[in-house]
Structure 1
Amino acid sequence: MNNPILYFNELYQEELKHTSVKIPSACCFTTIGVDGFPNSRFVSCKEVVNDHFIITGSKTARKGIEVEQNSKVALAFWWTSTNVQVRVQGLINELDSDSSNKYFQERNRESQIVSIVSNQGEVLDDIANLEQAYKVVEEEYREQVLSTPTSFGAWEIIPFRIEFLIFIDSRFHNRILYEKEGDAWKHTLLKP
């Protein structure tokens, strides 16, 4: 296949047919930390749009600060039901506020309230204060649509390298590397 995004979508749809994983869109998102060390955490890939991988989160949390300072990032997917690993390297770009609003409104209400009351990654002095702030927002806005906090953002990861590793019983796994050259993708087979 000449297009790795189409291949990614095909493999992901196959995984969705078989998986019982609660969040099959989970992937490991790696940034370059402000101290120069790689920094990884799991996020949910919201979708793939225009060949770009979409993630969301707090712009004031560590990941938001790190991508503001260095746009080089990576994603790693591991699909347990189909034994497929996908690694993506690319550049990240913040999307506009309309996109942030769209993805915020798609979150469940509990996650929306947590995004409003919690400054993700800051030192927690007292969980009771955070729980109280949650209850206040929950009560005050019970019948209302919650507004997207300014700290919530959506980003697109524009890939320039995607590697697929499809595990097979013989241990001679299928390993395919796609690299962007201009507007085209070049692919090569790698030894497992």
Structure 2
Amino acid sequence: MKNTENPIAIFSKWFNEECELTKVKIPSAVCLSTMGIDNFPNARFVSFKEIVDNSFIVTGPLDSRKGIEINNNNNVAITFWWAETERQIRVQGIATTINSKLADRYFEERNINAKAVSSICEQGKELDNAALLEKNIEDKVVEGKRIDRPSNWGGFSIKPIRIEFMEFKETRFHHRKLYEFHNGIWSMKQLQP
């Protein structure tokens, strides 16, 4: 069934409602799922930044496991779970790398420790000497010098093709709506709990 409601607007409303109520430290945490190069799915929590051009933005090293997997197969999923409002949002979409200007902006917003870690660490690689790596990061922070965005650090814009909203109910008759994007138009169907 065609629907004039924009699921991106619904997402924004729900996200703002959760942020007003939540007590969790990182309300923007979202589970990003990719298809592994070994054909096993991989899921991990990343930080959702914002919606840009009706796409969901997440950031991180482009040469990490998630970056390699997205480069190999850019069909991804992100899943939000919000405890205060008891809502879940599932998004399936196509990931593309964000431009360097946007990546610079997100990197600049990071705190000094996050910048130091991103500039020194090779995310997901085997660790030989944790104490030495931690000292190198601490030294970089203590230097207090400007830390520029490493060339391997960026982000992904996830253009949704499906967005499912679920509101949990004590009766277990959860309210579920699935929006799908076809030929430039969102359509909606209600799903059984």
**For residue 82 of structure 1, what is the amino acid of its counterpart?**
T
Q: What does the per-residue CA deviation read over 1:113-166, in whole Å, with 9 as the maximum and x for residues that have no partner?
A: 0001111111000112202211332233x1x32100011011100000000010
Letter in 2 for 1:95: I
Letter in 2 for 1:149: P
* Aligned twin of 1:100: 103
Q: Which moved more, 1:167-176 or 1:182-191?
A: 167-176
Question: What is the Cα-based RMSD across aligned positions, in Å?
Answer: 1.0
Q: CA–CA distance in 2 between the matches of 1:81 and 1:132? A: 39
Q: Give the SS at the match of 1:131.
A: helix
Indicate whether 1:14 and 2:17 are aligned. yes
Structure 1 residue runs without a partner (length 5+): none
Q: Deviations over 1:3-50 (max 9, x none)?
A: 100000111111111110111110110001011111000011011111
Number of aligned residue pairs: give it: 190
**2:75 aligned residue (72, 75, 81):** 72
Letter of the 2:147 counterpart: L
- Structure 2's unaligned 5+ residue stretches are none
Please state if 1:89 is matched with 2:92.
yes
Which residue does the alignment assign to 2:131?
128
* Residue in 1 that maps onto 2:181: 180
C-alpha deviation, 1:181, in angstroms? 1.1
Runs of 4+ in 1 over 6 A off after TM superposition: none
**Of 23, 26, 40, the match for 1:23:** 26
Partner of 1:137: 140
Per the normalisation by structure 1, the TM-score is: 0.96
| Aligned-pair identity (%) | 44
Q: Give distance in 2, aligned partners of 1:28 and 1:139.
A: 32
**TM-score with structure 2 length normalisation?**
0.95
Counterpart code for 1:111: A
Residue aligned with 1:145, SS: coil
> 2:161 — aligned with what?
160
For the residues of structure 2 that align with 1:52 and 1:110, how far apart are their CA atoms?
28
Q: Please state whether the residue corresponding to 1:128 is helix, strand or coil.
A: helix
The one-letter amino acid paired with 2:172 is R
